[in-house]
Amino acid sequence: MNNVQNIKTYTALIERCFPQITVQMALPITSGWDSFVLEVNGELIFRFPMREDVVKRIEQEIRLLPILEKTLSTPIPHFDYIGHGDGEYPYLFVGYRKIGGIPLAAESITREQRWNLAPALARFLSELHSFPMELALRAGFAEHTPEQWRQVWRQEFQGRYEDLQLRVFPLLDEKLSTKTMQLWEEFLNVEEHFAFRPGLVHCDLGCEHIFCDPERGMLTGVIDWGDATIGDPALDFVGLLLGYGREFTEQVLSRYQGEEDSFFWRRIDFYSCYPPYSELLYGAYSGGQNFIEQGLAGLREIFNE
Protein backbone atom coordinates (compact mmCIF):
# COMPACT_ATOMS: atom_id res chain seq x y z
CA MET A 1 0.00 0.00 0.00
CA ASN A 2 1.10 3.57 -0.61
CA ASN A 3 0.83 6.26 2.07
CA VAL A 4 -2.61 7.48 0.91
CA GLN A 5 -4.03 3.95 1.10
CA ASN A 6 -2.33 3.40 4.48
CA ILE A 7 -3.81 6.59 5.90
CA LYS A 8 -7.32 5.66 4.77
CA THR A 9 -7.00 2.13 6.12
CA TYR A 10 -5.61 3.16 9.47
CA THR A 11 -7.89 6.14 10.11
CA ALA A 12 -10.90 3.93 9.42
CA LEU A 13 -9.47 1.35 11.83
CA ILE A 14 -9.00 3.97 14.55
CA GLU A 15 -12.60 5.14 14.22
CA ARG A 16 -13.92 1.57 14.25
CA CYS A 17 -11.93 0.62 17.36
CA PHE A 18 -12.34 3.96 19.15
CA PRO A 19 -15.67 5.56 18.21
CA GLN A 20 -14.96 8.48 20.55
CA ILE A 21 -12.25 9.65 18.12
CA THR A 22 -13.25 11.50 14.96
CA VAL A 23 -10.23 11.73 12.70
CA GLN A 24 -10.20 15.22 11.22
CA MET A 25 -6.54 15.25 10.19
CA ALA A 26 -4.02 12.45 9.77
CA LEU A 27 -0.37 12.88 8.83
CA PRO A 28 2.14 10.05 8.29
CA ILE A 29 5.16 10.53 10.56
CA THR A 30 7.22 7.54 9.50
CA SER A 31 6.82 4.38 7.47
CA GLY A 32 9.95 2.57 8.55
CA TRP A 33 11.13 -1.01 8.74
CA ASP A 34 8.87 -1.89 11.67
CA SER A 35 5.82 0.35 11.94
CA PHE A 36 3.62 2.87 10.20
CA VAL A 37 3.22 5.93 12.46
CA LEU A 38 0.35 8.37 12.11
CA GLU A 39 -0.27 11.74 13.78
CA VAL A 40 -4.00 12.25 14.35
CA ASN A 41 -5.70 15.62 14.86
CA GLY A 42 -2.36 17.20 15.75
CA GLU A 43 -2.44 15.68 19.23
CA LEU A 44 -2.32 11.87 19.07
CA ILE A 45 0.28 9.42 17.76
CA PHE A 46 -0.78 5.96 16.58
CA ARG A 47 1.70 3.18 15.81
CA PHE A 48 0.76 0.28 13.55
CA PRO A 49 3.24 -2.64 13.51
CA MET A 50 4.01 -4.19 10.16
CA ARG A 51 5.07 -7.64 11.42
CA GLU A 52 4.25 -10.09 14.20
CA ASP A 53 7.67 -9.67 15.87
CA VAL A 54 7.02 -5.91 16.16
CA VAL A 55 3.73 -6.69 17.91
CA LYS A 56 5.72 -8.61 20.55
CA ARG A 57 7.82 -5.52 21.18
CA ILE A 58 4.74 -3.32 21.55
CA GLU A 59 3.34 -5.82 24.05
CA GLN A 60 6.57 -5.39 25.99
CA GLU A 61 6.10 -1.61 25.97
CA ILE A 62 2.55 -2.03 27.25
CA ARG A 63 3.92 -3.90 30.27
CA LEU A 64 6.95 -1.66 30.87
CA LEU A 65 5.92 1.94 30.30
CA PRO A 66 3.30 2.29 33.07
CA ILE A 67 5.91 1.12 35.60
CA LEU A 68 8.81 3.05 34.09
CA GLU A 69 7.01 6.41 33.81
CA LYS A 70 6.72 6.56 37.61
CA THR A 71 10.51 6.47 38.01
CA LEU A 72 11.59 8.96 35.33
CA SER A 73 11.53 12.75 35.43
CA THR A 74 11.40 12.76 31.60
CA PRO A 75 7.99 12.00 30.02
CA ILE A 76 7.52 8.83 27.98
CA PRO A 77 4.50 7.64 25.95
CA HIS A 78 1.41 6.60 27.88
CA PHE A 79 -0.77 4.30 25.80
CA ASP A 80 -4.28 5.67 26.21
CA TYR A 81 -5.45 3.62 23.24
CA ILE A 82 -4.71 -0.08 22.72
CA GLY A 83 -6.46 -1.51 19.69
CA HIS A 84 -6.61 -5.19 18.78
CA GLY A 85 -7.26 -4.86 15.08
CA ASP A 86 -9.94 -6.64 13.09
CA GLY A 87 -10.43 -8.54 9.84
CA GLU A 88 -8.80 -5.77 7.79
CA TYR A 89 -5.79 -5.27 10.06
CA PRO A 90 -4.79 -8.26 12.21
CA TYR A 91 -2.32 -6.70 14.66
CA LEU A 92 -2.46 -4.95 17.99
CA PHE A 93 -1.77 -1.20 17.71
CA VAL A 94 -1.37 1.67 20.17
CA GLY A 95 -2.05 5.39 20.47
CA TYR A 96 -0.76 8.03 22.87
CA ARG A 97 -0.80 11.75 23.39
CA LYS A 98 1.83 13.45 21.25
CA ILE A 99 5.11 14.27 22.99
CA GLY A 100 5.92 17.98 22.89
CA GLY A 101 9.17 19.59 21.80
CA ILE A 102 11.43 18.78 18.85
CA PRO A 103 13.78 15.84 18.22
CA LEU A 104 17.32 16.20 19.48
CA ALA A 105 18.31 15.42 15.88
CA ALA A 106 16.75 18.69 14.62
CA GLU A 107 19.18 20.86 12.68
CA SER A 108 17.66 24.00 14.24
CA ILE A 109 19.25 23.19 17.62
CA THR A 110 22.39 25.27 18.07
CA ARG A 111 25.61 23.94 19.54
CA GLU A 112 25.10 26.04 22.69
CA GLN A 113 21.54 24.77 23.14
CA ARG A 114 22.70 21.20 22.64
CA TRP A 115 25.37 21.54 25.28
CA ASN A 116 22.83 23.06 27.65
CA LEU A 117 20.82 19.85 27.24
CA ALA A 118 23.71 17.67 28.48
CA PRO A 119 22.65 17.77 32.18
CA ALA A 120 19.07 16.73 31.30
CA LEU A 121 20.35 13.87 29.13
CA ALA A 122 22.67 12.70 31.90
CA ARG A 123 19.84 12.80 34.42
CA PHE A 124 17.55 10.78 32.15
CA LEU A 125 20.19 8.14 31.48
CA SER A 126 21.13 7.95 35.16
CA GLU A 127 17.49 7.41 36.15
CA LEU A 128 16.88 4.84 33.41
CA HIS A 129 19.96 2.75 34.16
CA SER A 130 19.17 2.71 37.90
CA PHE A 131 15.63 1.40 37.29
CA PRO A 132 15.06 -1.30 39.95
CA MET A 133 15.84 -4.73 38.56
CA GLU A 134 12.91 -6.33 40.39
CA LEU A 135 10.54 -3.96 38.55
CA ALA A 136 12.13 -4.84 35.21
CA LEU A 137 11.68 -8.53 35.94
CA ARG A 138 8.07 -7.88 36.96
CA ALA A 139 7.54 -6.24 33.55
CA GLY A 140 8.58 -9.51 31.92
CA PHE A 141 12.24 -8.89 31.08
CA ALA A 142 14.76 -11.71 31.21
CA GLU A 143 17.75 -11.01 33.41
CA HIS A 144 21.03 -10.62 31.52
CA THR A 145 24.30 -11.14 33.33
CA PRO A 146 27.33 -9.66 31.55
CA GLU A 147 28.22 -13.16 30.33
CA GLN A 148 24.70 -13.65 29.00
CA TRP A 149 24.99 -10.26 27.28
CA ARG A 150 28.19 -11.46 25.62
CA GLN A 151 26.35 -14.57 24.42
CA VAL A 152 23.59 -12.39 22.99
CA TRP A 153 26.13 -10.51 20.91
CA ARG A 154 28.01 -13.69 20.01
CA GLN A 155 24.75 -15.22 18.80
CA GLU A 156 23.93 -11.98 16.98
CA PHE A 157 27.19 -12.26 15.08
CA GLN A 158 27.00 -16.02 14.51
CA GLY A 159 23.34 -15.79 13.55
CA ARG A 160 24.08 -13.01 11.11
CA TYR A 161 27.38 -14.45 9.88
CA GLU A 162 25.81 -16.63 7.20
CA ASP A 163 23.83 -13.65 5.96
CA LEU A 164 26.94 -11.48 6.10
CA GLN A 165 28.93 -14.05 4.11
CA LEU A 166 26.19 -14.57 1.57
CA ARG A 167 24.82 -11.07 1.14
CA VAL A 168 27.29 -8.50 2.52
CA PHE A 169 30.84 -9.84 2.13
CA PRO A 170 30.49 -9.99 -1.68
CA LEU A 171 29.88 -6.23 -1.51
CA LEU A 172 33.07 -5.65 0.48
CA ASP A 173 36.67 -5.75 -0.59
CA GLU A 174 38.98 -8.22 1.17
CA LYS A 175 40.28 -5.62 3.63
CA LEU A 176 36.80 -4.69 4.86
CA SER A 177 35.81 -8.35 5.20
CA THR A 178 38.95 -9.14 7.21
CA LYS A 179 38.51 -6.09 9.43
CA THR A 180 34.90 -7.06 10.08
CA MET A 181 36.01 -10.43 11.45
CA GLN A 182 38.72 -8.83 13.56
CA LEU A 183 36.34 -6.20 14.96
CA TRP A 184 33.85 -8.75 16.28
CA GLU A 185 36.36 -11.32 17.48
CA GLU A 186 38.48 -8.79 19.37
CA PHE A 187 35.40 -7.43 21.11
CA LEU A 188 33.85 -10.76 22.05
CA ASN A 189 37.08 -12.40 23.20
CA VAL A 190 38.14 -9.78 25.77
CA GLU A 191 36.82 -10.68 29.24
CA GLU A 192 37.12 -7.11 30.53
CA HIS A 193 34.55 -5.89 28.03
CA PHE A 194 31.94 -7.78 30.01
CA ALA A 195 32.64 -6.64 33.56
CA PHE A 196 29.83 -4.07 33.73
CA ARG A 197 26.73 -3.89 35.94
CA PRO A 198 23.64 -4.59 33.80
CA GLY A 199 20.76 -2.11 33.83
CA LEU A 200 17.57 -1.34 31.95
CA VAL A 201 18.57 0.15 28.59
CA HIS A 202 16.47 1.78 25.87
CA CYS A 203 18.59 0.00 23.25
CA ASP A 204 17.54 2.28 20.34
CA LEU A 205 18.31 5.72 21.74
CA GLY A 206 18.97 7.63 18.55
CA CYS A 207 18.67 11.42 18.69
CA GLU A 208 15.42 11.13 16.69
CA HIS A 209 13.82 9.35 19.67
CA ILE A 210 14.75 12.07 22.19
CA PHE A 211 12.51 15.16 22.27
CA CYS A 212 13.51 18.43 23.88
CA ASP A 213 12.84 22.10 24.46
CA PRO A 214 16.25 23.50 23.48
CA GLU A 215 15.52 27.03 24.65
CA ARG A 216 14.73 25.82 28.16
CA GLY A 217 17.44 23.15 28.22
CA MET A 218 15.02 20.34 29.10
CA LEU A 219 13.88 17.01 27.70
CA THR A 220 10.21 16.77 26.81
CA GLY A 221 10.08 13.04 26.15
CA VAL A 222 11.70 9.83 24.95
CA ILE A 223 9.80 7.53 22.56
CA ASP A 224 10.03 4.07 20.92
CA TRP A 225 10.75 1.66 23.78
CA GLY A 226 10.13 -1.57 21.90
CA ASP A 227 13.80 -2.65 21.99
CA ALA A 228 14.29 -1.98 25.72
CA THR A 229 16.10 -4.75 27.55
CA ILE A 230 18.37 -5.49 30.50
CA GLY A 231 21.91 -5.06 29.27
CA ASP A 232 24.93 -2.80 28.92
CA PRO A 233 24.28 0.89 29.77
CA ALA A 234 27.09 1.90 27.38
CA LEU A 235 24.79 1.03 24.48
CA ASP A 236 22.52 4.01 25.24
CA PHE A 237 25.33 6.48 24.55
CA VAL A 238 25.86 5.33 20.97
CA GLY A 239 23.12 7.55 19.52
CA LEU A 240 24.73 10.63 21.09
CA LEU A 241 28.12 9.64 19.71
CA LEU A 242 26.82 9.03 16.19
CA GLY A 243 24.64 12.14 16.29
CA TYR A 244 26.96 14.71 17.82
CA GLY A 245 30.39 13.22 18.33
CA ARG A 246 32.73 12.30 21.13
CA GLU A 247 33.08 15.70 22.79
CA PHE A 248 29.35 16.09 23.36
CA THR A 249 29.00 12.48 24.54
CA GLU A 250 31.81 13.04 27.03
CA GLN A 251 29.98 16.15 28.26
CA VAL A 252 26.91 14.01 29.01
CA LEU A 253 29.03 11.27 30.58
CA SER A 254 30.73 13.76 32.89
CA ARG A 255 27.34 14.33 34.56
CA TYR A 256 26.17 10.72 34.39
CA GLN A 257 25.57 9.11 37.79
CA GLY A 258 25.72 5.48 36.63
CA GLU A 259 28.77 3.26 36.79
CA GLU A 260 31.41 4.01 34.15
CA ASP A 261 34.06 1.27 34.14
CA SER A 262 37.39 1.55 32.37
CA PHE A 263 36.09 -0.25 29.26
CA PHE A 264 32.90 1.82 28.95
CA TRP A 265 34.14 3.84 25.98
CA ARG A 266 35.56 0.79 24.22
CA ARG A 267 32.11 -0.78 24.28
CA ILE A 268 30.47 2.43 23.03
CA ASP A 269 32.93 2.47 20.13
CA PHE A 270 32.18 -1.16 19.27
CA TYR A 271 28.39 -0.74 19.35
CA SER A 272 28.69 2.34 17.16
CA CYS A 273 30.15 0.14 14.40
CA TYR A 274 27.00 -1.98 14.08
CA PRO A 275 24.63 0.32 12.10
CA PRO A 276 26.47 0.03 8.74
CA TYR A 277 26.12 -3.78 8.84
CA SER A 278 22.43 -3.44 9.58
CA GLU A 279 22.04 -1.07 6.61
CA LEU A 280 23.97 -3.43 4.33
CA LEU A 281 21.84 -6.43 5.31
CA TYR A 282 18.62 -4.49 4.88
CA GLY A 283 19.79 -3.19 1.53
CA ALA A 284 20.82 -6.66 0.39
CA TYR A 285 17.47 -8.16 1.38
CA SER A 286 15.32 -5.34 0.04
CA GLY A 287 17.37 -4.44 -3.01
CA GLY A 288 17.69 -0.89 -1.67
CA GLN A 289 20.84 0.43 -3.28
CA ASN A 290 20.80 3.55 -1.12
CA PHE A 291 21.05 1.44 2.06
CA ILE A 292 23.93 -0.54 0.56
CA GLU A 293 25.79 2.63 -0.38
CA GLN A 294 25.22 4.14 3.07
CA GLY A 295 26.41 0.94 4.74
CA LEU A 296 29.56 0.75 2.64
CA ALA A 297 30.32 4.43 3.30
CA GLY A 298 29.84 3.84 7.02
CA LEU A 299 32.26 0.90 7.07
CA ARG A 300 34.90 2.75 5.09
CA GLU A 301 34.67 5.60 7.58
CA ILE A 302 34.95 3.22 10.55
CA PHE A 303 38.00 1.46 9.09
CA ASN A 304 39.54 4.61 7.55
CA GLU A 305 39.43 3.10 4.08
Residue that terminates a domain, selected from 40, 65, 98: 98
- Say if residue 153 is in the same domain as residue 12: no
What is the Cα–Cα distance from 73 to 221, expressed in whole angstroms?
9
Dump the DSSP string for 209-254. Answer: GEEEETTTTEEEEE---TT-EEE-GGGGGHHHHHHHHHHHHHHHHT
Higher pLDDT, 299 or 39: 39
Each residue of 4-52: pLDDT tens digit?
668 888 999 999 999 999 999 999 987 566 889 999 999 999 999 988 9
**pLDDT class of 160 with cuts at 50, 70, 90:** low
**pLDDT class of 168 with cuts at 50, 70, 90:** confident
What is the pLDDT of the chain when averaged over all its residues? 90
- Say if residue 121 is in the same domain as residue 267: yes
Among 246, 268, 254, 241, residue whose Cα is nearest residue 119: 254
- Say if residue 153 is in the same domain as residue 288: yes
What is the Cα–Cα distance from 1 to 132, expressed in whole angstroms?
43
- Say if residue 92 is in the same domain as residue 109: no
Each residue of 50-79: pLDDT tens digit?
889 999 999 999 999 999 999 999 999 999
- Say if residue 145 is in the same domain as residue 222: yes
CATH code: domain of residue 19: 3.30.200.20
**pLDDT class of 113 with cuts at 50, 70, 90:** very high
- Say if residue 108 is in the same domain as residue 208: yes
pLDDT, average across residues 226-246: 96
- Say if residue 256 is in the same domain as residue 122: yes
Contact call for residues 218 and 50 (beta carbons, < 8 A): no
Evaluate if residue 162 carries a pLDDT over 70: no
- Say if residue 110 is in the same domain as residue 257: yes
- Say if residue 239 is in the same domain as residue 283: yes
**What is the number of structural domains in the chain?**
2
Q: What is the pLDDT of residue 4?
A: 61
**pLDDT class of 3 with cuts at 50, 70, 90:** low
CATH code: domain of residue 116: 3.90.1200.10
- Say if residue 61 is in the same domain as residue 135: no
Q: What is the pLDDT of residue 276?
A: 86
* Of 145-149, 158-162, 221-225, the least confident: 158-162
- Say if residue 84 is in the same domain as residue 164: no
Residue span of the structural domain in which 93 resides: 3-98
What is the Cα–Cα distance from 138 to 117, expressed in whole angstroms?
32
- Say if residue 35 is in the same domain as residue 117: no
Higher pLDDT, 276 or 128: 128
Q: What is the pLDDT of residue 100?
A: 95
